Amino acid sequence: VTLLEQLRDQAAYCRGAGSALTADLLDGAAADVEAGGPAADLLAPHADDPRGTVVGLRLAGALHRLVLERRAPALAVHYPSVGGTPGDVWAAAREVVAEQPDVLAPVLQRPVQTNEVGRAAALYGGLLRLATRTDLPVRLLEVGASAGLNLRCDRFAYSLRAGVEIGDATSPVVLGRPWTGDLPRGWPTTTVVERRGCDLAPLDPTSAADRLTLSSYVWADQVDRFRRLAAAFTVAERVPAVVERATASDFLARELAVPRPGVLTVVWHSVVRQYLSAAERRAVDDRLAEAGTRATPGAPLARLSLEPQQVSSGQAFLVELTTWPTGRHEVLATARGHGPPVHWNPLDT
């Protein structure tokens, strides 16, 4: 796949996913590459980058970073994330590419890294489903946690309808109408007693530099996601959670080595599987299966995930749950890539 095709495919994807701004940027960049403009020079070293490294989104992130750093005022005019209004965004971006290639080039080397707060809607709903079956407090372990924002999912507000909020109703993070379908009955509560995660490249949600990185990869016209992320940074200041630098399999080998009585250990991951090598994926599955054999009713284990899956109608994001000691597997819900709305399947218990 050529660079041009990658940019155009990514533009079409972004348009379909509700970011006209990112789509316009990438269509503009593609036309500029074709015409031999400044984007052609900037992107030339990335002509053979694998498709999965999403060069278009790296370019969009690098430009957004300059906007957020107040280093591209004429481009910022078009960026809703800083109060701008979309217009001829590529014309302004082209100037930035022409004038600041040395600033953009090193940022283009970085992988896209996000931490999507909307996915907490799947995680928290899953924890509530579990809470209908056990009163045990939750020990939450997240692999591929990025900045660990969703380890604070119980400290976000879930606004079911006007005046009905569950989770932490006082939270600055509010997920509006996050759920449809067969919702948990009787609104069980859940208590998280431990929050711990790992990532190959953990980010610190209390540091200005890492906040900038996470913010820059949010599509700049998706203002709700952008605000939600900023609100989650303030929750992270109040609610500590450790995210250490480790592979998922090493982290689980250590954390699941001995059963932990008196708590429900929940291993959670969202949009991580596709980034793991086949060997790492198998190792993660094996660590969980082994720990499952050691689980007991007093020291139970659960794996909860939101991951894209091939289904008959194409790709869907499924919320899946496996619980031990029984080893029972369930597809709890279907969601969008960024979380809401999460549609819960009928309860069968």
Ligand X SMILES: C[S@@+](CC[C@H](N)C(=O)[O-])C[C@H]1O[C@@H](n2cnc3c(N)ncnc32)[C@H](O)[C@@H]1O
Considering only 12, 164, 193, 201, the residue that binds ligand X (CB under 6 A) is 201
96 versus 198: smaller Cβ distance to ligand X? 198
Other Cβ atoms less than 10 A from the Cβ of 36: the count is: 9
* Residue 261, token pair as written in the block: 């009585």
Pull the structure tokens for residue 298.
Answer: 């007093």
CB 241 within 8 A of CB 130: no
DSSP string, 127-187: HHHHHTT--PPEEEEEES-TT-GGGGGGGSEEEEETTEEEE-TT-S-EEES-EEESPPTT-
Q: How far is the CB of 28 from ligand X (least distance, A)?
A: 26
* C-beta of 63 vs 143, nearer to ligand X: 143
Q: Does 113 bind ligand X (CB under 6 A)?
A: yes
Q: What is the 3-state secondary structure (H, E, C) of 62-103?
A: HHHHHHHCCCCHHHHCCCHHHCCCCCCHHHHHHHHHHHCHHH
Query: Considering beta carbons, is residue 39 or 143 the nearer one to ligand X?
Result: 143
Binding flag, residue 6, ligand X (CB under 6 A): no
| Binding track over 207-226 against ligand X, x by CB under 6 A | --------------------
Residue 270 touches ligand X, criterion: CB under 6 A: yes
| Contact (Cβ atoms closer than 8 angstroms) between residue 166 and residue 134 | no
Q: Does 14 bind ligand X (CB under 6 A)?
A: no
- Cis? peptide before 325, omega within 30° of 0: yes
Q: Which one, 22 or 270, has the nearer CB to ligand X?
A: 270
Q: Considering only CA atoms, which of 290, 286, 304 is closest in space to residue 259?
A: 290
Give the count of residues interacting with ligand X (CB under 6 A).
21
Q: Which two tokens stand for residue 16?
A: 């379909």
What whole-number distance in Å separates Cα of residue 217 and Cα of residue 19? 12
Interaction residues for ligand X, span 90-109 (CB under 6 A): none
146 in contact with ligand X (CB under 6 A): yes
Q: Residue 72 or 248: which CB sits closer to ligand X?
A: 248
The token duo for 334 is 């279907």
Among 67, 198, 256, 299, binds ligand X (CB under 6 A): 198
Segment (H or E) for 23: helix 20-34
Q: Which stretch binds ligand X (CB under 6 A): 130-138, 140-148, 212-220, 287-295?
A: 140-148
Residue 341: count other Cβ atoms within 10 Å of its Cβ.
18
| Interatomic CA distance for residues 319 and 325, integer angstroms | 20
Return the residues of window 290-319 that contact ligand X according to CB under 6 A. none
CB of 75 to ligand X, least distance (A): 26
**Closest of 7, 92, 19 to residue 56, by C-alpha:** 7
Check residue 119 for interaction with ligand X (CB under 6 A): yes
- Check binding of 76 to ligand X (CB under 6 A): no
Cβ-proximal residue to ligand X, closest one: 144
Site for ligand X in 228-247 (CB under 6 A): 247
User: Least distance (Å) from ligand X to the CB of residue 325?
Assistant: 26
Q: Decide if residue 81 touches ligand X (CB under 6 A).
A: no
Minimum CB distance to ligand X, residue 164 (Å)? 26
Residues at the interface with ligand X (CB under 6 A): 113-116, 119, 143-146, 198-201, 247-248, 270-272, 275-276, 280
